[in-house]
């Protein structure tokens, strides 16, 4: 019995020593640098919301009937929906992504068909914004002219318009964490999928407010048309506010070379990210809105 215990103890010591001598793969596996764009589908903001975000504004206190039937041609972004009440999504904005990939399954006893990565990075979006406008317009006849030569009557109409134009813009920075699964393949091409989340703060929050009044006289055969417009403008800076998002992702990875020791560690990647974003202007309740982004860049194999 004593001999058996001695043999078991010796084997256990040898096995544990072999395990400690086995080289472990490093946790840090990849580095990432990418550039992309982002766009948000901004939810409706009412005049009350804008007034809550801008408590010190004077221009928004003008009490005018707002019907949203003004010309929206000056609004930034792209129309989401038809008709005078169509919303505008924020214009695409440049984004910078820097990150590293950690390999949680680096010491698995058996090779896997999939590489798993926990990516931790930083995402900076240079510009995002939302535009809005309200106004009212009324046309009425205000004068009748009679030709002294022929006695013919000429009618003169005038159009009175009044409204608001608002434009909010900001930058965005946040911690970006995602978990990806990449298909291991003999090909230089590979696909991957995953999910992640972001949390951060907005920077350089600015809002421009314009209140405008225009009067146009359509004229007649004997007199030229006239047009007059008055416009007042305010600029406001808002404090930074927190935001968060959750996203899914799908991407393609391309290895630059199989033969060169240097190029084989370099990969091009492209991924798309449908997103649910939680954010709002300061003073306005947090809202959930759909958004999207894409990232193109280079992945560095650090092992």
Q: Residue 119 pLDDT more than 80?
A: yes
Rounded to the nearest integer, the mean pLDDT of the chain is 77
With a cut of 50, say whether residue 253 has pLDDT above it: yes
pTM over 0.75: no
**Mean per-residue pLDDT for 169-197?**
93
Helix boundaries (H) for the chain: 2-21, 47-53
Q: What is the pLDDT of residue 201?
A: 94
The pairing of strands 153-183 and 114-146 is antiparallel
| Cα dihedral value 195, 197, 198, 199, nearest 10 | 180
Beta partners for residue 66, in sequence order: none
Q: Tell me, what's the pLDDT at 166? A: 85
Which of 166, 162, 165, 142 lies closest to 154 in space, CA to CA?
Answer: 142
pLDDT of residue 15: 41
Higher pLDDT, 74 or 6: 6
Question: Is residue 135 within 8 Å of residue 161, measured between CB atoms?
Answer: yes
Angle at 176 between CA 107 and CA 295, to 5 degrees: 100
Q: What is the DSSP letter of 150?
A: T
pLDDT of residue 86: 37
Residue 189 phi, psi dihedral angles, 5° rounding: -95, 145
């Amino acid at each position: 019995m004593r001999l058996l215990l001695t043999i078991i103890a010796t084997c256990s010591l040898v096995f544990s020593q072999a395990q400690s001598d086995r080289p472990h793969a490093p946790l840090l596996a990849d580095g990432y640098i990418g550039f992309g764009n982002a766009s948000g589908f901004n939810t409706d903001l009412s005049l009350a919301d804008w007034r809550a975000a801008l408590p010190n504004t004077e221009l928004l206190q003008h009490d005018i009937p707002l019907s949203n039937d003004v010309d929206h041609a000056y609004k930034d972004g792209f129309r989401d929906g038809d008709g005078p009440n169509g919303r505008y999504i924020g214009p695409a904005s440049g984004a910078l992504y820097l990150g590293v990939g950690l390999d949680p399954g680096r010491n698995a006893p058996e090779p896997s068909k999939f590489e798993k990565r926990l990516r931790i990075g930083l995402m900076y979006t240079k510009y995002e914004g939302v535009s809005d406008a309200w106004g009212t317009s009324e046309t009425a006849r205000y004068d009748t002219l009679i030709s002294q030569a022929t006695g013919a009557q000429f009618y003169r109409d005038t159009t009175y318009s009044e409204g608001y134009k608002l434009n909010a813009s900001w930058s965005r920075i946040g911690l970006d964490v995602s978990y990806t699964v990449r298909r291991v393949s003999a090909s230089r091409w590979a696909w991957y999928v995953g999910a992640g989340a972001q949390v951060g703060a907005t920077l350089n929050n600015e809002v421009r407010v314009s209140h405008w009044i225009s009067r146009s006289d359509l004229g007649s055969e004997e007199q030229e048309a006239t047009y007059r417009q008055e416009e007042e403008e305010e600029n406001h800076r808002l404090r930074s506010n927190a935001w968060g998002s959750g996203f899914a992702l799908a991407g393609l990875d391309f290895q630059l070379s199989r033969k060169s020791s240097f190029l084989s560690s370099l990969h091009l990647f492209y991924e798309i990210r449908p997103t649910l974003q939680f954010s709002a202007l300061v003073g306005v309740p947090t809202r959930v809105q759909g958004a999207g982004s894409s990232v193109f860049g280079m992945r560095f194999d650090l092992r």
